[in-house]
Amino acid sequence: MVTVVDNDDVCIKLADAYLTNGVRTPDGRMIGDYIVQNTVEKLQFYKKIFGVEKPDKMYFEMYSDIEEWRDYYRSVFKSEPPAYSRGTFESKKSLSTSVQHPRAVYGTSMWYKTVCTNAHEAFHMFYKKYCYGEDRIVWFDEGLAQFFSGDSEDKIKDEDSFILYFSRFLADYKPINNLNERIQGNSSVSDDLIFYREGVFNGYSASFLIIWYLYETKGMDYIIELMKDNKRIRELGEYVLEEAVEYYKDKYSMRSRENQ
């Protein structure tokens, strides 16, 4: 790992591959440069939205080898990481560790995941530390982390991308009535409580849809106020997924197909 930034606010370490990959980008910079830029910019933004002038210093380590990262996870948490997991954080140390794709192609979903993963984990750290404490609502936290970090930019960069994302989501969407209770975890969590399991429930996709819907219909200030109100968030959790789905079905006239 190479330490690419280390100042009062932040320390970022990257596996060599992020700095030597040679993947083509419009301005010729390495993916590692984009990672640093996005991390630093988003930390500034989080300071603003959480109203924290001098947050604790944050540490980021990005691996390029999945097995190396999984070993790290086992050594710290004494358990198996969820199969889909590519990042985690230790609140006490303000340390985010993750594994992404040094050779991601510019502009693809993998690119945004890689460039924005630090900002995604940093959002979780800020939100917990400076707002909700122990009372985490997974769907809202995950929706916001995707929304603010930029890691889902591929879904919203233009209308065609959004329609593609929404159609895919709709294709295996089954309405659920316990969004607030859904939690992350490995195979020990049952299907009816899992937040993300392929073929069961895609909580990431669902929660991003909800936040995007709230942003589009109510705006950024509404979201930032809502973040402080877990009671209201849980009320929304009872119905907002269905509401967002209906809204976009109407907006993109996807309703006709199911009436035929």
Residue number with CB closer to Zn ion (36 or 125) = 125
Residue number with CB closer to Zn ion (128 or 234) = 128
Stretch that binds Zn ion, among 6-14, 128-136, 141-149, 212-220 (CB under 5 A): 141-149
Q: How far apart are CA 140 and CA 131, in angstroms?
A: 13
Q: Least Å distance between CB 133 and Zn ion?
A: 17
Stretch that binds Zn ion, among 134-142, 181-189, 193-201, 231-239 (CB under 5 A): 134-142
Stretch that binds Zn ion, among 66-74, 138-146, 193-201, 242-250 (CB under 5 A): 138-146
Q: Least Å distance between CB 98 and Zn ion?
A: 10
Helices 230-237 and 240-251 meet at what angle, rounded to 10?
Answer: 60
Residue number with CB closer to Zn ion (30 or 145) = 145
Residues 143-172 that bind Zn ion (CB under 5 A): 145
Residue number with CB closer to Zn ion (142 or 154) = 142
* CB contact at 8 A, 14 and 98: no
When CB distances to Zn ion are compared, the closest residue is 145
Q: Least Å distance between CB 142 and Zn ion?
A: 5
Q: How far apart are CA 229 and CA 51, in angstroms?
A: 16
What 8-state DSSP symbol labels residue 87? E
Q: How far apart are CA 117 and CA 89, in angstroms?
A: 11
Q: Least Å distance between CB 141 and Zn ion?
A: 7
Contacts for 74 with CB less than 8 Å, ≥ 6 apart = 80, 81
Residue number with CB closer to Zn ion (166 or 204) = 204
Q: Is 229 left (phi over 0), alpha (psi -120 to 50) or beta?
A: beta
How many chain residues interact with Zn ion (CB under 5 A)? 2
Strands 58-63 and 10-14, by their bridges, are: parallel
> For the sheet containing 95-99, what is the strand order?
2-6, 10-14, 58-63, 95-99, 87-90
Residues binding Zn ion (CB under 5 A): 142, 145
